[in-house]
Structures are given as C-alpha cells and as structure tokens.
Structure 1
Amino acid sequence: MLKEKALKIKMFLMDVDGVLTDGKVIYDSKGNELKSFNIKDGLAIGLLHKAGIKTGIITGRNSPMVERRANELKINEVFQGKRKKIDTYNNIKEKYSLKDEEILYIGDDLVDIPVLKKVGFPVAVADAVEDVKNFCIYITEKKGGEGAVREVVELILKLRDEYEKIIKEFTDA
C-alpha cells in the first residue's frame, strides 16, 4: 500500500514548527526569533528535487528564518502566516494541476489535520499530537527537527526504487 502511494508523489509539503524544527521558538535579548533546522532534513529536500519531486512549506507563523532556510534549500513553494492551511493547499494543487493522491504532507498539530485528511500520503512526526496521528498512514520514528523529514524522504525514495541511484553522487567518490 505505501509503495503504491509513494509512486504517485509529485509534491512533498511540510509544516515548519514541530516538523522541520523541534517546535521551540527562542527569542534573544533583542527580541530576534531563532529556529534550529536539522541539516540532514535539508540534504533530503535536495534529494527530492533530484527525484523530480516538488517541495513546499505551509506554516501558520511568519519568520524570516523560514524564508532564509527555504531559499537555501530551493523549496518550490513557501507560504507563511497561513492558519487555514487547506486554502493554501488547494491553491498549490491547482497551480501544479495535481490530484490529492499525488501529494504528501507532513505535520504535527491540529492546524495540519484538514490538509492531512486530503492528501494521498499523510505523515505525522513521532511527537505529533495524537489527533494528528489518527489521520496519517505513516508516523515517523524521529521527532520533528530531529531528522523526521529525512526519514520520510528516504522512505519515499526507497519505495520508488530511486534512492540508490540518487545518492550515487555521494557514494561514488
């Protein structure tokens, strides 16, 4: 079942806080917001691009750190300040002429549920709230911000029999 669903994926969408980060928001003494991103997740996003899979972020908060990280990773679509994520999801789907079953979404909290209910491959991180996990076909072993995105990327690419070919540039030195 997972393999069939993985073969259809054309878009990999993610939440940020609690998925690409550990969900903590840190403020310095000057009021600047700091976020910690996992480098392994970043490399995995590059692997998706090599596989021809588009990537996107839909997050409820606004942060210059997210914009910066998304630009570094060449993420195709970045939407911040979207508390009602389903509207953004529908716009992305329409823009790329995608069907629900061609989209994977990984989330961790209640605001993600409407999107998780629609996509063909709904994923929750290990430390997602239980209500989110109930709507997912895959729950990561890793927590958000600790390589959960990398885990899902590797899973998808392996199910598609593309992983070995894509990582060849790293293993053939």
Structure 2
Amino acid sequence: MKKEKNIKLIVLDVDGVLTDGSLYIGSNEEEYKKFNTQDGMGISLAHYAGLKTAIISGRNSKAVTKRAKELKINYVYQGIADKVQVLHELLDNLDLHPKEVCYMGDDLNDLPILNLVGLSFAPANAVALVKENVDYVTERSGGHGAVREMIEFILKEQYNFKELINDFINGKRRVVQ
C-alpha cells in the first residue's frame, strides 16, 4: 500500500507552516500571527474525511490557541522542545503507528519528526535541508495555502476526492476557514 493511503493523523508545525513565519509583536507585547483561510478550510475537509489533526509547536502563542480552537484541531501542544517525544506520547494515546502520520515542518527542529513519520511535507519556503529530507515539497509557502495543498494531496490519494467534496458541500455543514 502506498504510504499516502494510510494516513490517519496530520501533525503541523505552526511558524512557517500555518503562518508565513513572521512574528508580529505589538507595543503591548502581544504576539500576532497571520493565518490562511484556505488552510483552515483544508483542515475542515480533513476532519470531515475522518482524519485527526494536531499541532506541535516550539513556541507558545495565544493566537495559535485561538486559531486551533476555531478549527477544532484535535490536539495542540505548544512550547515543545522535544517534538518527537510528544508525538510518541500522542501515538501511544491514539494507538497509531508513525507510518500513519503525516507531518509538515519547515525548519531544522522539525527534521527529527519529519524523519520518523510515514509521510512528510515541507512548504515551499522551508529551509533547504528540510526540503531535501521530506517526501514532498508543496508549491505554496507556509501561511499561503501549503497546508491546504498537502491535505488535498492526502485526500485525493485516500478518497474519491470529487465525491468527498460533493458530500461536504451538500452536507451544508458549517465550517470555519
């Protein structure tokens, strides 16, 4: 079986993946991040198809907490130094194998987890070493639809995509972008 056909959990880094990697810090010391609504719709599609989602980020951010809650991301871990350890704990709790996980990361701290999972992606703006060590590099950059591109790739491999989209649209489900 192709590894693209066995994904049950999508795990994402945040900065440089769900965002363009920029950090905006206001004079009130509040951190702001810009998210892409197409990525949000992609995450809603993944949930509709029955896939679980998780965030494992090295930073702590109220903006990420808020966005993850809006998108109903199943598992959110922030301020994580050892992403592999957190992934192993998550997999144990979900009774999943690393081969059933897709991860998207963009920088050096993502390499250990990218090398562990069954399917790995990097956005177009990832550092060269990461792009050299993943299964796929998206055409889009982080914060500009890379997550959506990755999710559509997985859904097209695992499902009848046109039928899935038709069911999604006709289901009249309220979704958050």
Per-residue deviation, residues 120-169 of structure 1 (Å, max 9, x unmatched) = 00111111111111220100000000000000011111112332122114
Kept in 2: contact 1:51–1:162 (CA 8 A)? no
Secondary structure of the residue aligned to 1:167 is: helix
- Point out 4+ residue stretches in structure 1 off by more than 6 angstroms: none
Match of 1:25 in 2: 23
Match of 1:59 in 2: 57
Match of 2:35 in 1: 37
One-letter code aligned to 1:88: V
Kept in 2: contact 1:123–1:140 (CA 8 A)? yes
Secondary structure of the residue aligned to 2:120 is: strand
One-letter code aligned to 1:81: G
* Cα pair distance change 1:172/1:51, threshold 3 Å: closer
TM alignment of 1:80-99, pairs within 5 A: 80-99=78-97
TM alignment of 1:97-136, pairs within 5 A: 97-136=95-134
Instruction: Select the residue among 75, 78, 82 that pairs with 1:77.
Output: 75
One-letter code aligned to 2:6: K
Kept in 1: contact 2:6–2:158 (CA 8 A)? no
Structure 2: how far apart are the matches of 1:34 and 1:166? 34
**TM-score under structure 1 length normalisation:** 0.94
Deviates more, 1:61-70 or 1:125-134: 125-134
C-alpha deviation, 1:109, in angstroms:
0.3
Match of 2:152 in 1: 154
Structure 2: how far apart are the matches of 1:51 and 1:135? 28
Instruction: Select the residue among 136, 149, 172 that pairs with 1:138.
Output: 136
Match of 1:170 in 2: 169
Secondary structure of the residue aligned to 2:121 is: strand
Secondary structure of the residue aligned to 1:123 is: strand
Secondary structure of the residue aligned to 1:13 is: strand
* Cα pair distance change 1:172/1:64, threshold 3 Å: closer
Structure 2: how far apart are the matches of 1:155 and 1:47? 12
Structure 2: how far apart are the matches of 1:162 and 1:15? 27
Secondary structure of the residue aligned to 2:125 is: coil
Structure 1 gaps, min length 5: none
Count, aligned residues: 171
Secondary structure of the residue aligned to 1:104 is: strand
Kept in 2: contact 1:106–1:124 (CA 8 A)? yes
Q: What is the CA RMSD across the aligned residues, in angstroms?
A: 1.5
